[in-house]
Structure 1
Amino acid sequence: IIASADFMTLTILEVAKELNIAIPEQLGVCGYSNEPYTELTTPAISTVNQFSFEMGKTVANMYFQENKSDEKTSMPKSIIINPKLIVRASSQRNI
């Protein structure tokens, strides 16, 4: 299961435990956003780091550069910040 947010994986882990579904042996789980608690759960949750801080910093810099400039533009800018998959115990299987 790939959850759209890390906090959803907490419920997935809880329900899997109630249903006696072994993670990762029977069900792999991955979240999104790399919240700090994902390393602390049992098992630790695989996640995708979207680099939220870097995104915010980039947008803030663009905003301040645009405001300092005498030349205003409404042209859209494209900046790519590649996410990173962080594989942890919740999705590692010995096959």
Structure 2
Amino acid sequence: MEDWVKAKYKSNGQLVVFPLLIDDKMNPIMNEVDIIQDSNLNKNIKLYCEMIFEEHEDTLMTLFRQGTADIDIKLCSQMANLCNETTPDEEYEFEREDL
């Protein structure tokens, strides 16, 4: 959860948070956004993720036990109402240090 940046899309002003590097290369959306300086962003993201997990821990564990598909979408969109209900173009593959 290090090296994340906050930005706004130049096209529509939508706020976005994303990793600065992907596979040790600059994230391709860098050309599409204006960076917003936030020295506490990485610490805040970690704390926010921990709060979400703690608040929805029982539901999350139930979804894992049931082998539910698209757990991220079910939790974030349908149960916690934190994001839009869209399937990502590409699944995120967790690296060992992300777990």
Q: Tell whether the structures are fold-level matches, with TM greater than 0.5.
A: no
TM-score, L = length of structure 2: 0.24
More strand by share: 2
TM norm structure 1:
0.25
